Amino acid sequence: MSLSMSKRRAWLLAVAAGGLAVVGCGSSGSTVGVTPTSVTFGTHQPLTGPAAPGYSEIAPASIAFFKYVNAHGGVWGRKINLIVKNDEYNPTQTVNVVHQLVLQEKVFGIFEGLGTPTHTKVVGFLNSEKVPDLFVASGCPCWDNGAEHPYTFGWQPNYTIEGKILGQYIAQHFAGKKVGVLYQNDDFGNGGLAGIRDEVPSKDIVATQPYEPGTTTLAAQITAIKSAGAEVLVDFTVPIYTAIGQLTAFTLGYTPQLVVSSVGIDPTTVAALLKTISKGKASGTALIEGAITTNYLPSSTETSNPWIALFRRIHSEYDPGTPFDGNTVYGMATAYTLVQALKAAGKNLTREAIVKAVEEGGKSWSGPGLVPFRYTKTQHGGYGGAEIGRVEGGKIVLSGKPLLTEPTAGTPITPYTGSQPAPPTGGVPSE
């Protein structure tokens, strides 16, 4: 499901003591969190709680990539350190740990803070303190506002962009079918729902059912969607609620075509959750087989892809004992982008320099993504599109071409004609 038992126990013991400092921390010199030999970031992650399954693998994967970069000389002679604190996917706890990271640990910036309901509670604080808030692990449309939040940058596609791409697929391949939407009742779910509504005719959307993070049942929501006659079920859910929803549908004898946001359908994670929640009665990925989704990174099972080969090699050396799945790829890919930002910011690293580097150069950065970033001074929303995929044999198989669009209603969805570059020699970005 996530970390090996012994490794997970070590993480949780460290968290209980007040946080996990990986490699080291501290600050000196003219810029907070920066020394001549190190730069220190902090992050809030759900190491426990409802979002922990699968997502607790992300920070260790990022740390593994940083260790690899550090072993190859770091960035401008500095090693990258990351302090990980557990917020349990609880917004109140997120506020506590982020204040600790900024005010007590004196980190240079926040990296990969995970979650929409959690990170929305600290984005104002981070911007008021002028702390770089880089590559939030959430596709909330709210990060995509450089004018209001100049220090915050998303990384994955805006959820409305993903919703539009999924909505177009539904409109093209399930025309006239009744559609129901299960969504997390926050900017994550609402952003995805907005994208679906932009592409699917309103007459075809027969049910929209929200759930609150932390709930333990989706019986009312799935029953309502079934009763409305929905033939297509769209989930904007985190993995545990994808699993709960599918188990609920199974008990009701409800078998719609499943369409799931990329954040909630990693097959390894969802299969483990299905087994755990059902106490072994549901194993494997049978309940999500055939599900439609998107991805903006190569699939973790695409062993011929040079990026996956690179990440597998780093994983086996620096993060053994954990699954190699989509969460691992995500963690390493975001870490790669942070290294690009540090390189581009230059040797004289300041908070203002790294923000400027992303705004001015991020749009042209190449890397493991299937599409380009959208970074400009005003656009801070990350990747500009994704590719349609399907769960087949317990794997996400991508097909067709990556698609690009904007979150604004009515903007077109167009194929991306570029190609994914190979990793640089040695695997460490030069910019």
Residue 152 has pLDDT above 90, yes or no: yes
DSSP string, 264-318: G--HHHHHHHHHHHTTTSS-TTGGGTT-EEEESS--TT-TTSHHHHHHHHHHHHH
The answer on 92 and 220 residing in a single domain is: no
DSSP for residue 102: I
The answer on 228 and 135 residing in a single domain is: no
Q: What are phi and psi of 309, to 5 degrees?
A: -60, -45
The answer on 359 and 311 residing in a single domain is: yes
CATH number of the CATH domain containing 287 = 3.40.50.2300
The answer on 290 and 210 residing in a single domain is: yes
Residue 293 has pLDDT above 90, yes or no: yes
pLDDT in tens, 156-209: 999 999 999 999 999 999 999 999 999 999 999 999 999 999 999 999 999 999
64 assigned to some structural domain: yes
Distances, alpha carbon 416 to alpha carbons 24, 130, 162, 401, in Å: 41, 35, 15, 7
Residues in the chain: 431
Torsion, Cα 186 335 153 56, to 10 degrees, reads 20
Per DSSP, what are the bridge partners of residue 99? none
The answer on 271 and 326 residing in a single domain is: no
How far the first Cα of the chain sits from its last, in Å, is 34
Residue 225 has pLDDT above 90, yes or no: yes
pTM for the full model? 0.91
Residue 17 has pLDDT above 50, yes or no: no
Residue 10 has pLDDT above 80, yes or no: no
Q: Which residues form the domain of 108?
A: 5-157+301-384
Q: How many domains does the chain have?
A: 2
Q: How big, in percent rounded to 5, are the helix, strand and coil portions of the chain? A: 40, 20, 40
The answer on 289 and 183 residing in a single domain is: yes
Model confidence band, residue 28 (pLDDT cutoffs 50, 70, 90):
very low
Nearest CA-CA partner of 134 in 156, 159, 99, 109: 109
The structure tokens listed for 95 are: 């506020």
Per DSSP, what are the bridge partners of residue 43? 84
The answer on 11 and 145 residing in a single domain is: yes
The answer on 198 and 278 residing in a single domain is: yes
